[in-house]
Amino acid sequence: MRQIQGILPVPTRGRGLVEITRVANDWLAEAGAVTGLLTVFVRHTSASLLVQENADPEVLRDLERWFARAVPDGDPLFRHVEEGPDDMSAHVRGALTQTSIGIPVDGGAMRLGTWQGLFLWEHRHAPHAREVVLHYVGD
Amino acid sequence: MRQIQGILPVPTRGRGLVEITRVANDWLAEAGAVTGLLTVFVRHTSASLLVQENADPEVLRDLERWFARAVPDGDPLFRHVEEGPDDMSAHVRGALTQTSIGIPVDGGAMRLGTWQGLFLWEHRHAPHAREVVLHYVGD
Amino acid sequence: MRQIQGILPVPTRGRGLVEITRVANDWLAEAGAVTGLLTVFVRHTSASLLVQENADPEVLRDLERWFARAVPDGDPLFRHVEEGPDDMSAHVRGALTQTSIGIPVDGGAMRLGTWQGLFLWEHRHAPHAREVVLHYVGD
């Protein structure tokens, strides 16, 4: 048993889901991972992680549409508004999704289902330089 | 320290929560697990995982009622509708709950609270054959 | 590689977010943790875990406001009402947030982002004695 830890920089182009499946699998390959557990952790409170369908891009747009309606930008309910109308909505969207996901690894890659991809979800409208911590424990 | 990984098939009978507490603990027992960490990962984007109360079944029905109202099937907002009115709502329900849960193990079983059970949540109306990956690291 | 497991008692004063960043890092320090993975698991279904901003307390109040509106206490939709109007809403709030969070550890502390704190979210109005299980695997 051994472990490896690293940082994955994820540049975003504003609100939306950025697929990081391949870069995460590339990191595992470089680490020589075979069988184990990958933990993915996002170091932000206005971006989050999600495993979702990566086949039809309309799924990602529908996710955006549902969250935009359920957690509207500029909601008069919010008082934490210093950084603009998408500041507090970004925090709520982060709270409703994941900060951390653990994914079993086998054959040197994440054991995702056929239609699953790993995404960082940027919740702010402006582009950001995000950081994801990767931790692998296994063979 | 050692690790074990396996697949748990979970047949579902359509939308609803299927308790997998016992089969997960049985898997730990067969693996000879004592103290460690169990990671449970669902390989689907229209089914998810949840730790919830397993005492009063009305709790599970109320969870269904709340999600059915918050994420209605056939919502005109959705454009990913190829597989029917419960397709995109299933993805949103999946995004709002968990794909992966890490549960400490002690005495050979998951260290759940008195009222906690581990569930796979089927979000589609049709029965499905679901797959959950189990990863154990520990003694 | 080694592992340590322990229980963190978290007393709450009723509904609200209780920061446990420091007690979790203290536990890691006592355990002599350096580099590894901390898994935090809450043993309740009406309290949950969240990594969120710990700089402006208004963020936490806005989170409460949004959840109070989205999952209202005493919703006539709910039939599991034995323990009062905040019973079932607490379960739904728990389902929408996290039961378990995995956080990479480096330099003996959780590798949180600059603005991130780890919180237990009490969803019931009455004070409770909550229990969190901590599991560390690493050096």
Which residue matches tokens 């890691």?
C28
Question: Quick one: how far is CA A11 from the chain centroid?
Answer: 12
Task: Say which residues have a Cβ less than 8 Å from residue C45's Cβ, sequence separation at least 6.
Answer: B51, B52, B53, B59, B113, B115, B116, C90, C91, C94
pTM, entire model: 0.98
Cβ neighbours, 10 Å, residue C22: 11
Cβ within 8 Å, pair A51-B45: yes
> How many Å apart are CA A27 and CA B31, to the nearest integer?
29
Cβ within 8 Å, pair C79-B98: no
User: pLDDT tens for residues C14-33?
Assistant: 999 999 999 999 999 999 99
Size of interface A-B (CB pairs under 8 A): 95
Among candidates C52, C56, C101 on the partner chain, residue whose Cβ is nearest the Cβ of A95:
C52
Instruction: Say if CB C15 and CB C139 are below 8 A apart.
Output: no
Q: Name the 3-class secondary structure at C120.
A: strand
> How many Å apart are CA C137 and CA C139, to the nearest integer?
7
Report which residue type is found at B11. Answer: P
Average pLDDT over residues A18-40: 98
Confidence at residue C47, expressed as pLDDT on a 0 to 100 scale: 98
Cβ within 8 Å, pair A45-C115: yes
Cβ within 8 Å, pair C100-B59: no
- Judging contacts by C-beta atoms under 8 Å, the chain A residues touching residue B88 are 59, 62
User: pLDDT tens for residues C7-17?
Assistant: 999 999 999 99
Average pLDDT over residues A98-110: 98
Confidence at residue C57, expressed as pLDDT on a 0 to 100 scale: 93
Size of interface B-C (CB pairs under 8 A): 96
How far is B39 from chain C, CA to nearest CA, in Å?
10
- Judging contacts by C-beta atoms under 8 Å, the chain A residues touching residue C98 are 98-99
Q: Which residues of A touch C (CB under 8 A)?
A: 1-3, 5, 39, 41-45, 70-71, 75, 77-80, 82, 88, 91-92, 94-96, 98-102, 131, 133-135, 137
Instruction: Say if CB B100 and CB B110 are below 8 A apart.
Output: no
Q: What ipTM describes this predicted complex?
A: 0.97
Question: Residue A21 belongs to what H/E stretch?
Answer: helix A21-30
Confidence at residue A129, expressed as pLDDT on a 0 to 100 scale: 98
Cβ within 8 Å, pair B116-C44: yes
Instruction: Say if CB B58 and CB C79 are below 8 A apart.
Output: yes
Domains detected in chain A: 2-138 (2.60.120.460)
User: pLDDT tens for residues C48-103?
Assistant: 999 999 999 999 999 999 999 999 999 999 999 989 999 999 999 999 999 999 99
> How many Å apart are CA A32 and CA A108, to the nearest integer?
7
Number of helices (H), then strands (E), belonging to chain C: the values are 3, 8
How far is A10 from chain C, CA to nearest CA, in Å?
14
Size of interface A-C (CB pairs under 8 A): 96
User: pLDDT tens for residues C108-119?
Assistant: 999 999 999 999
Cβ within 8 Å, pair C102-A98: no
Q: Which residues of C touch A (CB under 8 A)?
A: 1, 35-37, 50-53, 56, 58-59, 61-63, 65-66, 69-70, 96-98, 101-104, 106, 111-116, 137-139
Instruction: Say if CB B123 and CB B47 are below 8 A apart.
Output: yes
Residue B44 is encoded by which pair of tokens?
A: 């689907």
> pLDDT grade, residue A102 (50/70/90)?
very high
Instruction: Say if CB B101 and CB B2 are below 8 A apart.
Output: no
Instruction: Say if CB C57 and CB C115 are below 8 A apart.
Output: no
Cβ within 8 Å, pair C44-B106: no
Cβ neighbours, 10 Å, residue B82: 9
Confidence at residue C56, expressed as pLDDT on a 0 to 100 scale: 92
> pLDDT grade, residue A19 (50/70/90)?
very high
Cβ within 8 Å, pair C77-B69: yes
> How many Å apart are CA C95 and CA B60, to the nearest integer?
11
Confidence at residue C10, expressed as pLDDT on a 0 to 100 scale: 98
Q: Which residues of chain B have pLDDT under 50?
A: none
User: pLDDT tens for residues B65-86?
Assistant: 999 999 999 999 999 998 999 9
Report which residue type is found at B81. Answer: V
Test the C interface: residue of A75, A93, A99 with most C CBs within 10 Å: A99
User: How does strand A16-19 pair with strand B100-106?
Assistant: unpaired
> How many Å apart are CA A75 and CA A54, to the nearest integer?
30
Instruction: Say if CB A46 and CB A124 are below 8 A apart.
Output: yes
- Judging contacts by C-beta atoms under 8 Å, the chain C residues touching residue B51 are 45, 99-100
> How many Å apart are CA C85 and CA C83, to the nearest integer?
7
> How many Å apart are CA C32 and CA C26, to the nearest integer?
10
Confidence at residue B1, expressed as pLDDT on a 0 to 100 scale: 95
Among candidates B42, B45, B131 on the partner chain, residue whose Cβ is nearest the Cβ of A115:
B45
